[in-house]
Amino acid sequence: MSHANRPLIPRDVLFGNPERTQPKISPDGKKLAYIAPDSKNVLQVWVKDIDQDNAEILTADPKRGIRSYFWAYDHTHLVYAQDTNGDENFHLFAVNVKTRAVKDLTPFPSIQARVIEHDMHYPDELLVAINHRNPQLHDIYRISLSTGQTTLDTPNTGSIIDWTADAYMQILAALATRPDGGYEFLYRKDKESPWESRLSWGPDEQGSILGFSSDGHDLFIVANHESNALRLLAINTKTFEERVIAQDPDYDVSDTLTHQDTGRVQAVAFNKDKVVWTVVDPSIADDFEALRRIRPGQFGVVSRDWADRQWVVACSSDTGPTHFYLYQRETKKAQFLMSTQPKLDAFELSPMEPISFKARDGLTLHGYLTVPIHRSQGLVPTVLFVHGGPWARDTWGFNSRAQWLADRGYAVLQLNYRGSTGYGKNFLNAGNHEWGGKMQDDLSDGVQWLIDQKIADPQKISIMGGSYGGYAALAAATFTPTLFCCAVDIVGPSNLLTLIQTIPPYWAPLKANFFKRVGNPDTEGEFLKSRSPFFFADRIQIPLLIAQGAHDPRVKQAESEQIVSAARKAGKPVEYIVYQDEGHGFARPENNTHFYAKAEEFLARYLGGHFEPMGMIQGHSAELK
């Protein structure tokens, strides 16, 4: 393959830290916070005056970097989450904007905390779900930002997985699991009243609660009972009658924009080939028209001030980094704030094209194809990159891995196989009990489509993915051993029996649904064994690269260890890397860059594409085993 003297996009530009990202305006509209690296290349929270270039660093995370945060409504604190080496035991920390003092709001050992509610009218309070009393169950605690005092507010009844507070910061709605794998919408009129079941979803249906209107008259939910796709519904809290706010016959509601004071939904997104917004509140119709004109591609509102005069807007496309703007509602003008990775502007990126085709049983599959913009004539080596979940989906937009592979000379297919979300419950449920079965057939059909379209060289097709995508790579190597020329597995399970036996304790309420979708080890042990690559390691004929995080709570290190051991005993070629300070995926840029350097070298060896010499990568925690 000719290099044509074209410089490759450096891996640290694609997989290193963003230059600046996640800008959020303070509630009073006077300051802007964002995440950016410090002098040691660790992501921290910074803050500046909205109209000045006087940014100061607020946090001092020593190693892992901060990846999510929000402004508290007390005008004093920012709150962020952090775990230890990827163990997903997230604590909540509050940093004082003025003094930079950091306080652990959840100082309990081996817990996982997540924020349920914070409200502008109760600026000192947070409602937080913490599994402190029982590792399997989260209860609701009320935490004071000023004092750090933590009080048990709402105990878990035994199967609740999510809660919703009204405008008075009272937990009055909840989502619980059922023994059959379905879900239940619980409601109580006040904190002293018992929970009542108001709506049930079977194991083949889905529902979630968005929130109350501030007047308490409506509760907004997303659900697909009496429909194929998830619809936005408003439930009258007096009569419990439902009314449809927005729906699409084929695509699920994917996002909503809710007014932070009234609690009413203003716009609804459906992620089709691309995201399509439907405005349901006429008061923002002109704003959305103005936002569409800021920049080609897609947009989303990511932050608003308390007065709702200023919005932070993210504009994204498939061929460049995300650009953020400060939008003034009064003038309908947008001011550029920052780009996540301006160094990308120096390179010509490959467009991502939506595609669709029929699977072997007639089911329509959707996905995205990225073909190298510098492609020479004829067939090209190709990577089938499989998304994780599997109850998730690939989307249109900038994708660092797709651009990396295309830049190295490979076509990239990202396929939303059956069982992926976003396409309605019929498509989702078509994946039940199909790990390694029809879900895998869809991926094989994607390969055949690439060949039929005269895109892929049939002798040079690789499969790669993380989590479920890693499982799919292992399944391909064992169940269709001659279809691909090599495979890359990132934190993928190899044995469905041990995967289910070692799920995190806080997933216990979801176990029945997991059994419904994957299989029950108590009654379907042989079936799960038949879909587990570990038991068929002797069938492997292609080289494997396997990467694992040592602290992964979802797919334990043993999932990789056992198939590596079995494959090597059978004399199969396996390269194995363990990152000692990572979990389910790699967060630290040093580890990310190291892994993709190893993967790039591996793919070039078997597909023949370009690769950037690995060089020295300081600070990574990789162990080659």
Q: Which residue of the set 139, 394, 445, 552 is catalytic?
A: 552
Burial 573-598 (b: 16+ CB within 10 A, else e): ebbbbbbebbbbbbbbbbbbbbbbbb
The token duo for 464 is: 């790669």
Count structural domains, the chain: 2
User: Is there a domain that residue 570 lies in?
Assistant: yes
CB 484 within 8 A of CB 509: no
Q: What is the pLDDT of residues 215-253, one digit of tens each?
A: 999 999 999 999 999 999 999 999 999 999 999 999 999
Q: Give residue 5's pLDDT.
A: 67
pLDDT 10s digits, 334-393? 999 999 999 999 999 999 999 999 999 999 999 999 999 987 778 999 999 999 999 999
Count of positions (residues) in the chain: 625
Q: Which of 26, 254, 444, 467 is catalytic?
A: 467
String of DSSP letters for 280-319:
--GGGHHHHHHHHTTSSSEEEEEEE-TTS-EEEEEEE-SS
- pLDDT tier at 271 (50, 70, 90 boundaries)? very high
Look at residue 181 and tell me if it is in a domain.
Answer: no
Q: What is the CATH number of the domain that holds 115?
A: 2.120.10.30
Sign of CA dihedral 70, 74, 77, 83: negative
Please give the mean pLDDT across all residues of the chain: 96
Residue 322 contacts residue 316 (beta carbons within 8 Å): yes
User: Does the pLDDT of residue 1 top 80, yes or no?
Assistant: no
Predicted local confidence at residue 136, as pLDDT: 96
Provide, rounded to the nearest whole percent, the portion of the chain with pLDDT above 90.
Answer: 96
SS3 39: coil
Taking only the tens place, the pLDDT of each residue in 597-612 is 999 999 999 999 999 8
Tens digits of residue pLDDT in 175-211: 999 999 999 999 999 999 999 999 999 999 999 999 9
Structural contact between residues 285 and 236, judged by C-beta atoms closer than 8 angstroms: no
Q: Which CATH number belongs to the domain containing residue 543 in this structure?
A: 3.40.50.1820
Contact between 345 and 320 (Cβ < 8 Å):
yes
Please check whether residue 187 lies inside any domain of the structure: no
Task: Provide the terminal-to-terminal Cα distance of the chain, rounded to the nearest Å.
Answer: 31
Q: Tell me: the pLDDT tens digits for 95-145? A: 999 999 999 999 999 999 999 999 999 999 999 999 999 999 999 999 999
Helix (H, G, I), strand (E, B) or coil at 64: coil
Q: Are the beta carbons of 229 and 251 closer than 8 angstroms?
A: yes
* Beta-carbon count within 10 A of 236 CB: 12
Q: In angstroms, rounded to a whole number, what is the distance separating the alpha carbons of residues 609 and 112?
A: 43
At residue 3, the pLDDT reads 46
Report the candidate in 239, 235, 195, 197 with the shortest Cα–Cα distance to residue 218.
235
State the residue range of the domain holding 461. Answer: 347-624
Beta carbons within 10 angstroms of residue 405's beta carbon? 28
The last residue of one of the domains, among 93, 122, 154, is 154
- Distance CA(264)–CA(218), nearest Å, equals 9
Of 106, 132, 154, which residue constitutes the final position of a domain?
A: 154
CA distance 55 to 92: 23
Q: What is the pLDDT of residues 278-303, one digit of tens each?
A: 999 999 999 999 999 999 999 999 99
- Domain edge (last residue) among 106, 139, 154: 154
Q: Is pLDDT above 90 for 6? A: no
Catalytic status, residue 565: no
Catalytic site includes residue 584: yes
Contacts within 8 Å (CB) and 24+ apart, 206-209: 206/230, 206/425, 206/428, 207/175, 207/183, 208/162, 208/175, 209/162, 209/164, 209/173, 209/174, 209/175, 209/185
Q: For residues 537 and 539, what is the distance between their CA atoms, to the nearest angstrom?
A: 5
Residue 36 β-bridge partners: 44
Residue 184 included in any domain: no
Looking at this protein, which amino acid is placed at residue 65?
G
How many Å apart are CA 484 and CA 112, to the nearest integer? 40
Confidence grade of residue 4 (pLDDT, cut at 50, 70, 90): low
CA distance 433 to 520: 10
What's the pLDDT score for residue 618?
Answer: 82
| Span 525-543, pLDDT tens digits | 999 999 999 999 999 999 9
pTM score, whole prediction: 0.96
Residue 50 has a CB neighbour count (10 Å cut-off) of 16
Q: pLDDT at residue 2 above 90? A: no
Instruction: Examine the residue annotation and report whether 552 is marked as an active-site residue of this protein.
Output: yes
Asked whether the beta carbons of 311 and 290 are under 8 A apart, the reply is no
Q: DSSP assignment, residue 502?
A: T
In a domain, 459, yes or no: yes
Is 315 contained in some domain? no
Asked if the model's pLDDT at residue 260 lies above 60, the reply is yes
The yes-or-no verdict on residue 482 having pLDDT over 90 is: yes
Query: Regarding predicted confidence, which is higher, 264 or 5?
Result: 264
Alpha carbon distance 105, 91 (integer Å): 7
Identified catalytic residue from 91, 366, 584, 620:
584
Q: What is the pLDDT of residues 304-340, one digit of tens each?
A: 999 999 999 999 999 999 999 999 999 999 999 999 9
Beta strands per DSSP E along 430-478 = 456-466
